[in-house]
Amino acid sequence: MAATPLRILVPIKRVIDYAVKPRVNSARTAVELSGVKMSMNPFDELSVEASLRLRETLPPSSVPDILLVSLGPAKSAETLRTALAMGADRALLIEEDAELEPLTVAKALKEVVSRESCNLVILGKQSIDDDAGQTGQMLAGLLGWGQATQACKISVQGEEVTVEKEVDGGTETVKAKLPVVVTTDLRLNEPRYASLPNIMKAKKKPFEKMKLSDFGLSAIKRLQTLSVSEPPPRQGGSKVEDVDGLVKRLRELGAI
Amino acid sequence: MSLRILPRRLLPLTARRATSLIPSRPLRPSFVVGTPRRFFSDDLSSPTPLPIFHLSETEQMLQETVARFANDMILPKVREMDEKETMDESIIEGLFENGFMGVEVPDEYGGAGMGFGAAIVAIEELAKVDPSVSVLCDVHNTLVNTAFLKWGSSDLKKTFLPQLATESVGSFCLSEPASGSDAFAMLTTAVPSDPASSADPSHYTINGSKCWITNAGHSKIFLVFAQTNPSLPANQRHKGITCFVVPRDTPGFAISKKEKKLGIRASSTCVITFDDVRVPRENILGNVGEGYKIAMGLLNEGRVGIGAQMIGLAQGAWEAGAKYVWQERKQFGRYIGEFQGLAFQVAEARTEIEAARALVYNAMRTKEALDRLKEAGEDVTSGTGGAGAPAGGKQGEFVMQAAMAKLYASNVAQKVSGAAIEWMGGMGFVRDGLAEKFWRDSKIGAIYEGTSNIQLQTIAKLLQKAHAQ
């Protein structure tokens, strides 16, 4: 099978760093973001790494373009630069300060795909701030493409993409013809560090900036967040002596 | 009007009498307080000055990468490496793979092509997790790589820099059993091949031994300082010292004893012996007799690297302690860090760390500014920054800042890491955690790359010279 060159789109998102403990803001309307350390969504790191590995393992010139795209405030440029330093080719920042919902993002990504003639989109299965887990699937729907979500293994042969997906109880392997949307899951790979020479090289890579309105879109919110609260603090448990004690305790708690 | 009513200073000179027991106060103080040393900002068109700890975007990205690498790859192995007194090979490979071993080496030789600041930030981040790994990276970057970059012939650069940036660790061999601080009393000799006849011998034969050599167990490339003219009188001996590049596999070169140490145990520290080791003259860094200048120049900069290692160590220890007292340990119904006495100790320690960091970062930025001026052809050794400044122009300023940075940072590292153990109580004392390790590691800071006494000597001399009548 003649190999189709892959033009990969890798959307990434700037989120609260996974190691930071999030706190609710004083108005209890959102998570506190000011002054908090932000990083690339860990699932998106897996996407970037996956695209780089495809380039490294397939025959030369199989992956002529790895384009990063991020929708968010101007500071998302830092996240894009980190991903460029991992080894991606180009970056596109679609600036938008307002909060974005997955459908808006998916619509914007659809425009980017047609603009850049991408035939493979690799996204994180979810972002760790909203845990929506929708963008990849919505994008596939809008594009009319096949989708393989929660990938723990991706391989490409010619026109076909084979993906092993994580499902409850194990894994499921699917095969699809390009173009395809794939979303990444934890076991897919171990993302590389941005090596120092690559950090320097990243400075010279093409970096484009656009606005959401350039795509004829605006940050419509179809959902309204009513309140945000922290989970209740963990209560200590109690020990029971034996089965009778357990039954007694369950009765006391009204569980039986 | 009676002259007595006027203040003394307004009295005409003739009316003043030298009878007062209080010495007459001069009209102006004999020193100008608070004259900023505008050395650097006048010469370099600087935009709005930023806080001393501000990092460029490149440095920030580098800091991020090094911190992640350190926490993911090094942290799990720190205790094991310390107990076994051996550096894990995979960590050294990781350092090379990610470009941490060629920070300042230009891109054309396979390095990252970054600045001195970047190297210092990398060393600091590594030390927050493991000072042993940090010193391996520090000696390699600030002593060995810099030596080639500054004094290597283009052939030496082409041969060795790519290796140093991508796969071969380097060592700096100056100290001997009989010469540490008194470096020029070294006994290792490098006898030229045709001493009597030719002024341009084809090779040199090195005999002697070096000790306390960092990285020796891993290094492939050694910078060896030897005396090419043993007949020089004592006060001229420095003029014969020459720096040779000696690859590990040269016949006669042997790593003998590996030291067992109090701290930085995972760092390899060995005795090296030279038994008729032949080195071609092409392997001389700089020129014959320039070894003294090279060593001193390198150590001045290496000092900042050690300062960075020490402030990284101090921060690592402080973090461990702060986390324990404010997140983990409760006694008498609350976190022990909530007791004012302990909280004050933690605050004091942090203040000292910030002061040490400020000295180190200032020394690092001073060096970068100095390099820019040198590149622009400026004379950096003359002139004075005004009262309070050291001798030696801008170069002297840098040397003083670097010495102060290392002196103070090693001091703070010891104090803070010692305090952190006490905050953590028994948990700080046992080898389960890393607190006790930081304290043992900190001790070397006041010793290597110029003892604290030598730093004080350097600072005092520079200041004294500037204040000579």
pLDDT in tens, chain B (469 residues): 444 555 555 555 554 454 445 455 444 444 444 444 555 555 556 678 899 999 999 999 999 999 999 999 999 999 999 999 999 999 999 999 999 999 999 999 999 999 999 999 999 999 999 999 999 999 999 999 999 999 999 999 999 999 999 999 999 999 999 999 998 899 999 999 875 555 678 899 999 999 999 999 999 999 999 999 988 988 888 899 999 999 999 999 999 999 999 999 999 999 999 999 999 999 999 999 999 999 999 999 999 999 999 999 999 999 999 999 999 999 999 999 999 999 999 999 999 999 999 999 999 999 999 999 988 898 888 877 666 788 888 899 999 999 999 999 999 999 999 999 999 999 999 999 899 999 999 999 999 999 999 999 999 999 999 888 6
A12 to A81, A155, B194, B242, B426: CA distances (angstroms): 11, 21, 66, 54, 45
Nearest-CA distance B247 → chain A (Å) = 26
Q: Rounded to whole angstroms, what are the CA distances from B131 to A102, B79, B106, B143? A: 45, 12, 26, 17
pLDDT of residue A239: 83
Query: In chain B, which residues have their Cβ closer than 8 Å to the Cβ of A81?
Result: 57, 61
At position B253, the amino acid (one-letter code) is F
Q: What is the pLDDT along chain A (256 residues), one digit of tens a residue?
A: 457 899 999 999 999 999 898 999 888 888 998 889 999 999 999 999 999 999 999 999 999 999 999 999 999 999 999 999 999 999 999 999 999 999 999 999 999 999 999 999 999 999 999 999 999 999 999 999 999 999 999 999 999 999 999 999 999 999 999 999 999 999 999 999 999 999 999 999 999 999 999 999 999 899 998 889 888 888 877 788 889 989 998 898 888 8
Helix B435-442 vs helix B131-138: angle between axes, to the nearest 10 degrees? 40
Which candidate, B424, B407, B190, places its Cα nearest to that of B310?
B407
Answer for the pair B311, B413: CB distance below 8 angstroms, yes or no: yes
ipTM of the complex: 0.85
- Asked if A82 and B61 come within 8 Å (Cβ–Cβ), the reply is yes
- pLDDT at position B442, please? 97
Among candidates A78, A196, A203 on the partner chain, residue whose Cβ is nearest the Cβ of B98? A196
Instruction: Output the DSSP codes for B253-303.
Output: EEEEEEPP-SS-TTS-EEEEEEEEEEEEGGGEES-TT-HHHHHHHHHHHHH
pLDDT at B197: 56
Contact in structure between B258 and B268 (CB atoms under 8 Å): yes
Is residue A197 within 8 angstroms of chain B, CB to CB? yes
On the question of a cis peptide bond just before residue A179, with omega within 30 degrees of 0, the verdict is yes
Q: Does B166 touch chain A (CB under 8 A)?
A: no
Note if B449 is an active site residue: yes
Q: Note the pLDDT of residue B200.
A: 72
φ, ψ at A23 (rounded to 5°): -125, 150
The whole-number pLDDT of residue B194 equals 77
Cα Rg of chain A (Å, integer): 21
| Contact between A194 and B64 using a beta-carbon 8 Å cutoff | yes
